[in-house]
A and B are shown apart, each in its own frame.
Chain A
Amino acid sequence: MRHLKVIKAGLFTTIQDKGRYGYANKGITQSGVMDEISYNYLNKLLQNKEDTNSLEIAFGNIELYSDVETYICVTGAKCEFFINKQPKQNYKVYKINIGDTIKVGKILEGQIVYLSVKGGFHIEKELGSNSTTIKESIGGLNGDKLKNNDTLPCSTHHFTPLTKLKKRFIPRYEDNEEIVLRVVLGYQEQNFKKDQKEKFFGSSYTITKEFDKMGCKLDGVPIVCDIKGIVSEAISFGAIQIPPNGQPIILLKNRQTIGGYPKIGFVIQKDCYKLSQMKIGSKVKFKQITLEKAIELERSFKQLFI
């Protein structure tokens, strides 16, 4: 079959789609792309179906050889991107031919790059998804990250509009900028006293190096909860755990399915995607919004890409 050949896999490149849903009660994490904003733009630009798989490139430095005539696009973090050593732009569809080389070099601004082709890669889904969960060896190519010499099967395409995203829509990730994460109170919020909530919303937190697909540990003013732990229960995407040391943890796509730390509420999905592009050491602040507002934001975000 026609394919892209992996010449250099990069440090941490995996195949992801929106995630694996419906298996959390078997202990299987949802997984999926960390930044659905860039990922949705990618599928939109390539006119792919909304759940089409893509490469999630965490540290750049990936090189592919094309054995196919098709279309390619790169979104997400600002990065060096070359086709046959010619510099190319993110958020723009390019035609590639047999014999072409594609390279994503250094990541310049942001953290994660998405790359896919017209129609995505033809890889069999596991439990309804191509998302790679390395811990459980599910999805992707043999449940693992990309390795040199892997083959990414895809089909030949002759015609596709060479669209590009208007500059004003391209997400930007200025380094070390402080971002605001919008939060709705929920779960055990009644176990946090008023002054603790004020502290939580009034302080600035730093993103620690314990930041991956599972979650993001923050460092700053500790928050005190009236209770030490809770009976283990299911954890949502974006849930904010407050462990006994008082430092918030935001749970992301590869979070454990259940856990026993109290949770003050959740960060709205769109802001979790923005967080995923932030650097270690960046600052975050929390801002409280109502559930109604969060639903409205989430619905309009989803509608944008339907």
Chain B
Amino acid sequence: MNFQIASVDSIIIYFGDTISQKVSNEVLDSFKIIEESNLKNIIEIVPSYTSIYIQFDIFSYTHEELYTIIKDIVNTKDKKTNKKQNNKIVTIPVYYDISVAADLQRVATLNNLSIQEVIDIHSSSFYKVYTIGFSAGFGYLGEIDKRIKTPRLNSPRQKVPAKSVAIADTQTAVYPKQSPGGWNILGRTYIDMFDKKLKGFSYLSIGDSVKFEPINKEQFISNGGII
């Protein structure tokens, strides 16, 4: 663990240099511990793959002070309690079909699999929400099974339809809104990933476990899915 100055009122704490399951678990466990400690005068806590960014009230802490406090909280809790995991499981129904998934065939071909095998593999794992960013409610989920690992498109699409479920390298995600993007589209959900009716507006929270559940055309359409 070490930290860097991120701004006049924020620090960024690093738990490792490269993306790995181990580092990410450490980040997510620490995030949970920091959140639950209810430290006063903290403005933002933003975990990512290897780091946690913390913005604080400039009159309440110095950078060094806050880092020392956080380090103590994380280290003591870590030893005392069994690893506290976020056990929330979120299911996302997905209509996997070439009519809504421009890259289903590409992913199958590049990996020498049938389309059905791609669907089975993608929908059989539990994924962790490593971080949320890029746009509101856009969760970076990982890791996907090596058998369907596929690089980003050579040139990104101008318009990825809203609610597309996609993969890139070892990651998978749902596009909350129509946006440009270079990920391989495997299907589409009817869930609003970013919705003002939801608490915090986001369907996913960092640390959630996500499972994709294949649905058929009728189920997709009857729940408001759009082809």
For the complex formed, measure the closest distance between the CB of B39 and the CB atoms of chain A, giving whole angstroms: 13
CA distance A239 to B12 in the complex (A): 12
A residues 290-306 near B (Cβ < 8 Å) are 291, 294-295, 298-299, 302
By a beta-carbon cutoff of 8 Å, the part of chain B in contact with chain A is 4-10, 12, 17-19, 43-51, 53, 55, 58-59, 62-63, 131-138, 140, 194, 196, 200-202, 205-206
Give the 5 A-B CB pairs with smallest separation, nearest first: A234-B53, A258-B133, A236-B7, A186-B5, A234-B46
Whether a CB of chain B sits under 8 angstroms from the CB of A27 is yes
Contact B136 A28 (CB under 8 A): yes
Interface hits, A184-233 → B, CB 8 Å: 184-189, 231-233
CA distance A27 to B48 in the complex (A): 11
12 other contacts beyond A26-B200, A28-B202, A232-B131, with CB at 8 A cut-off?
A22-B43, A25-B131, A136-B136, A186-B4, A231-B19, A232-B49, A234-B6, A234-B44, A239-B6, A266-B5, A299-B58, A302-B58
Q: How distant is the Cα of A118 from the Cα of B57 in the complex, in angstroms?
A: 28
Residue of B48, B138, B194 touching A234 (CB-CB under 8 A): B48
Which B-chain residue is minimally distant from A303 (CB atoms)? B59
Distance to closest chain B CB from A144 (angstroms): 14
**Does A269 interact with chain B (Cβ within 8 Å)?**
yes
List chain B residues, Cβ under 8 A from A28: 136, 201-202
- Asked if A234 and B51 make an inter-chain contact with CB atoms under 8 angstroms apart, the answer reads yes
Contact partners of B194 in chain A: CB under 8 A: 27, 136
Interface assignment of A126: CB less than 8 Å from any CB of chain B: yes
Q: Return the contact of B5 from the options A22, A136, A184, A258 (Cβ within 8 A).
A: A184
Contacting pair A233 B51 (CB below 8 A): yes
Residues of B within 8 A of A257 (CB): 46, 132-133
B50 in contact with A258 (CB, 8 Å): no
CA distance A106 to B147 in the complex (A): 61
Residues of chain A within 8 A (CB-CB) of B10 are: 236
- Does A233 contact B48, Cβ atoms closer than 8 Å? yes
The chain A residue sitting closest to B63, CB to CB, is A291
Tell whether, in the assembled complex, residue B4 and residue A187 are in contact, meaning their CB atoms are under 8 Å apart. yes
- The residue of chain A having its C-beta at the shortest distance from the C-beta of B194 within the complex is A136
- Which residues of chain A from 74 to 125 have any CB-CB distance to chain B below 8 Å in the complex? none
Contact of A231 among B48, B62, B135, B196 (CB under 8 A): B48
Within the complex, the shortest CB–CB distance from A47 to chain B, in Å, comes to: 23
Provide the residues of chain B in CB contact with A295, threshold 8 Å: 8, 58, 62
Asked if A239 and B7 sit within 8 Å, CB to CB, the answer is yes
A189 to B, closest residue via Cβ = B4
A237 within 8 A of B: yes
Distance A258 CA – B132 CA, assembled complex (angstroms): 8
User: What is the CA–CA distance of A291 and B58 in the complex, to the nearest angstrom?
Assistant: 12
Write out the residue numbers on chain A whose beta carbons fall within 8 Å of the beta carbon of B59.
299, 302
- Give Cα A26 to B44, complex, Å: 11
Of residues B5, B50, B138, B194, which shows the largest number of chain A Cβ atoms within 10 Å of its Cβ?
B5
- The interface bits of chain A over 10-34 (1 if a CB of B lies within 8 angstroms of the residue's CB, else 0) are 0000000000011111111110000
Could you say which of A24, A138, A265, A291 contacts B46, with CB atoms under 8 Å apart? Answer: A24
For A136, the chain B residues whose CB sits under 8 A away are 135-136, 194
Which of chain A's residues have a CB closer than 8 A to the CB of B8?
A: 184, 238, 266, 268-269, 291, 294-295, 298
Contact pick for A25, options B7, B45, B58, CB 8 Å: B45
A232 and B17 CA atoms in complex are apart in Å by: 11
| Residue pair A25, B18 in contact (C-beta under 8 Å) | no
State A28–B134 Cα separation when bound (angstroms).
9
Closest to A291 in B: B5
CB-CB < 8 A to A22: which residues of B? 43-44
Q: Is the CB of B44 within 8 A of A256?
A: no
Q: Which residue of A lies closest to B133 (CB)?
A: A258
Q: Known interface pairs A23-B200, A232-B48, A233-B51. Does A266 touch B6 (Cβ–Cβ under 8 Å)?
A: yes
Most chain B beta carbons < 10 A, residue from A136, A138, A188, A234: A234
CB–CB B44/A135 < 8 A: no
A-B contact pairs, 13 of them (CB 8 A): A25-B205, A27-B137, A27-B202, A187-B6, A233-B48, A233-B49, A233-B51, A236-B7, A259-B133, A266-B7, A266-B8, A291-B5, A302-B58
- In the complex formed, the residue of A with least CB distance to B54 is A234
Known A25-B132, A136-B194; contact A298-B200, beta-carbon cutoff 8 A: no
